[in-house]
Amino acid sequence: MDELMQTESIVLAPFGAHHVGGALALSRAVGWAHRREDWEMIRSLSEGRVALAGGRVVGTALMTPFGDTCSAINMIIVDESQRGRGVGRKLTTAVLELAGGRECRLTATNDGLPLYEKLGFVATHQILRHQGIAGQVDAPENVEWIDPGALPAIKALDRMAFGADRDAVYNALAREGSFAAIRRGDRIVAFAATRLFGKGEVVGPVVAENSEQARDLLAFILSGKEGRIVRVDIPEQTGLSSPLEDWGLPRGGTVVAMVRGAAVRSDTPAVQTFCLASQAIG
């Protein structure tokens, strides 16, 4: 699987930088908002496979590793002309092999659920997409922008909430966007990130001790984005849909969070993830 694999007229190959243009065309064809920059960011963090037909990219799949214990399986797209031929299954199987013994997480549409269940994934909860033009939001006084020097503390909080090492993801987020945080004394206890994405901006991850902190972080960031297109992806259990709708971000599509080979956590983390960096990487 590390080299080329032939299946009829479809070839699976390692996903290289020269495949980004073809991947971008695929994602646009299925209505995804990703820019070239968004593809380049996720590819830089990942290993992947492309399906080629006559040299043309007709399918993609990526595996984003989080240390040695966890990964995200993402960016699975198959060109409409190649569907029903098992290409999606072959791509997904290929990147699962890249994950090795890591726990694998992904988000699935209802159409994708049957395939992922056959491959050993189990549904855990729903992810809700909120997107719209941000309205007027009052900024709370307990949140502040923070500089890159706080990145080690941010990474530590995320590791506690997510249960795996996403240092490379946060290095990329620091290059692409900005962070806001809530402090208790000199210690950061909650944070949120924001960056450009698709046709607008995205807010996430948001990691906090409770929903009140998460709401304050969102309000602080959205207070500076009035009139802009903003997207926020939230686990359904966070209960943040109502304020997001009040702030001009109505609920849109829903996907299902799934996991394969989940590790059992013995601890109860002091913080949790209230908003995702993206559906691709959690």
Nearest Cα to 23, choosing from 48, 53, 57, 51?
57
Is-contact 74 42, C-beta < 8 A? yes
Is-contact 128 251, C-beta < 8 A? yes
**Global pTM?**
0.94
Mean pLDDT of 205-229: 98
- Give the per-residue pLDDT at 47: 98
- CATH 3.40.630.30 assigned to domain 5-101? The reply is yes
Digit-coded pLDDT (tens) for 21-40? 999 999 999 999 999 999 99
Nearest Cα to 270, choosing from 157, 186, 151?
157
pLDDT exceeds cutoff 70 at 6: no
What the block records as the tokens of 112 is 């994708």
Q: Binning pLDDT at 50, 70 and 90, where does residue 262 land?
A: confident
Q: Binning pLDDT at 50, 70 and 90, where does residue 134 land?
A: very high
Q: Binning pLDDT at 50, 70 and 90, where does residue 5 land?
A: very low
Task: List the beta bridge partners of residue 78.
Answer: 59
Write down the domain spans for the chain. 5-101, 129-275
Alpha helices in 100-240 (DSSP H): 113-118, 151-162, 167-176, 211-222
Mean pLDDT of 223-246: 97
What the block records as the tokens of 266 is 């013995």
Q: Which residue has the higher pLDDT, 265 or 157?
A: 157
- Give the per-residue pLDDT at 264: 79
5-101 and 129-275 share one fold: yes
Select 129-275's CATH number: 3.40.630.90, 3.40.50.2300, 3.90.1150.10, 3.40.50.720. 3.40.630.90
Nearest Cα to 254, choosing from 109, 123, 116?
109
Mean pLDDT of 122-148: 97
CB atoms within 10 A of CB 34: 21
Digit-coded pLDDT (tens) for 64-101? 999 999 999 999 999 999 998 999 999 999 999 999 99
Query: To which H or E segment does residue 173 belong?
Result: helix 167-176
Give the list of residues 6+ apart from residue 133 with CB closer than 8 angstroms, or none: 227, 228, 229, 230, 248
Coil, strand or helix: which one is 220? helix
Is-contact 139 107, C-beta < 8 A? no
Give the list of residues 6+ apart from residue 48 with CB closer than 8 angstroms, or none: 14, 15, 60, 61, 62, 63, 75, 95, 98
